[in-house]
Amino acid sequence: MNELLRVEQLGVVFHAARGRVYAVDGVDLAIAPGEVLGLVGESGSGKSVTLRAIARLLHEEAHITGRVLWQGRDLLTLPARALEQVRGAGIGTIFQEPMAALNPVLSIGLQIDESLRAHTGLDAAGRRARARELLDLVGIADAASRLRQYPHEFSGGMRQRAMIAIALAANPKLLLADEPTTALDVTIQDQILRLLLRLVSELSMAMLLVTHDLGVVASTCDRVAVMYAGRLCETGPTAQVLHAPRHAYTDALLRALPGEGAARARLQPIPGMPPRIDHPSPGCPFAPRCTHAEPRCDRERPAMQDVAPGRASACFAQDRLGVAA
């Protein structure tokens, strides 16, 4: 496969006061140019930490292992200056809460200009024109006056658009999006997802979309990777994974959703509680809650195996699943 970004055996350990937290454990991912890859999981699954590790946005206490290969270079060992060139110019990032990511005391125009100055060779006039162009591109009307405004003068949806404009300033080839629509209302979420999909296709950009919402994955991602307790459960084309999961966790997660089925029927919750990542299990982390678990699941860690063209799963029960409910 022609790859834009390749993540190999990524591991992230935080050294907290109460001990080590294994946030990400042996994750392999690859993103092709122009592809939208969804990274989905519940809270604490390590999906956001994975994204931040790729962009090297984690703080110093995080111990990161593995490789993140970008155009033949390992981002994890890249010196600071070279890394800045990759960030922004090669890889743009947007977050869930634009109010926290934007600088509250700088106008939107200045913040876009900052990004343009760092990553393009444009002169002042060129940057002004480009900033207006970017706001148009992300659907913010009346660009000239909007550029003079501050983040608090924007609505939630407009702030997210402004953050996308900043991320796009240097024409990145990959956009890392961390729950970009989670804080938004459903009609605004719909607008922002459409915007992102349009930009991906118009700018031939790839996107790594981190989300907890399987519905968002279904309608936006080409491929999906499911995470649980810091580990990758399965990867594959979105429709295949969501309609015929090959990992017991994906299967259970899909069954827990309120579906189109019988109204007021009991849902099928996943028993038990999310795992503790400070004491990783030697076996499959999902085993204690899994209805398909066998004795070896507690002891032995299932390896990621190809189960179909373009699909892989780390589950001993992979062949007993795949029968749609």
Partner 1 sequence: MSGDILSVAGVSKHFVGRRGVLDALRGRPMPVVHALEDVSLAIRRGETLGIVGESGCGKSTLARCLVGLHQPDAGSIAWDPAALGGRPRFRASQMVFQDPFGSLNPRLTVGSALAEVVGVHRLRPKSEIGARVRELLEQVHLPADAAQRYPHEFSGGQRQRIGIARALAAEPLMLIADEPVSALDVSVQAQIVNLFLELQERLALTLVFITHDLRLVRHLTERVAVMYLGRVVEVAETQALFADPRHPYTQGLLKAVPTIAQATRPAGPAITGELPSPLAPPPGCAFHPRCPIAVARCRTERPALLPDPAAPGLARERSAPDAHRVACHLAPQAAATAPA
Binding site for partner 1 (CB under 8 A): 42-43, 155, 157-158, 185-191, 193-194, 197, 212-216, 218-220, 238-239, 242, 252-254, 256-260, 263-270, 273-274, 289
Q: How far is the CB of 190 from partner 1 (least distance, A)?
A: 4
Matching residue, tokens 């634009």: 98
Beta carbon nearer to partner 1, 85 or 219: 219
Q: How far is the CB of 259 from partner 1 (least distance, A)?
A: 8
3-class SS letters over the chain: CCCCEEEEEEEEEEEECCEEEEEEEEEEEEECCCCEEEEECCCCCCHHHHHHHHCCCCCCCEEEEEEEEECCEECCCCCHHHHHHHHHHCEEEECCCHHHHCCCCCCHHHHHHHHHHHHCCCCHHHHHHHHHHHHHHCCCCCHHHHCCCCHHHCCHHHHHHHHHHHHHCCCCCEEEEECCCCCCCHHHHHHHHHHHHHHHHHCCCEEEEEECCHHHHHHHCCEEEEEECCEEEEEEEHHHHHHCCCCHHHHHHHHHCCCCCCCCCCCCCCCCCCCCCCCCCCCCCCHHHCCCCCHHHHHCCCCCEEEECCEEECCCCCCCCCCCC
Q: How far is the CB of 99 from partner 1 (least distance, A)?
A: 14
Beta carbon nearer to partner 1, 202 or 260: 260
Q: How many Å apart are CA 34 and CA 224, to the nearest integer?
A: 14
Q: How far is the CB of 26 from partner 1 (least distance, A)?
A: 23
Q: How far is the CB of 68 from partner 1 (least distance, A)?
A: 27
Beta carbon nearer to partner 1, 252 or 287: 252
Beta carbon nearer to partner 1, 57 or 218: 218
Beta carbon nearer to partner 1, 17 or 125: 17
Q: Which of 252, 235, 232 is nearest to 325 (CA)?
A: 252
Beta carbon nearer to partner 1, 130 or 212: 212
Beta carbon nearer to partner 1, 82 or 256: 256
Beta carbon nearer to partner 1, 60 or 142: 142
Q: How far is the CB of 201 from partner 1 (least distance, A)?
A: 12
Residue 231 bridge partners (DSSP) = 228
> What amino acid is encoded at 51 in this protein?
L
> What amino acid is encoded at 177 in this protein?
A
Q: How far is the CB of 279 from partner 1 (least distance, A)?
A: 16
Q: How far is the CB of 16 from partner 1 (least distance, A)?
A: 17
Q: Give the total residue count for the chain.
A: 325
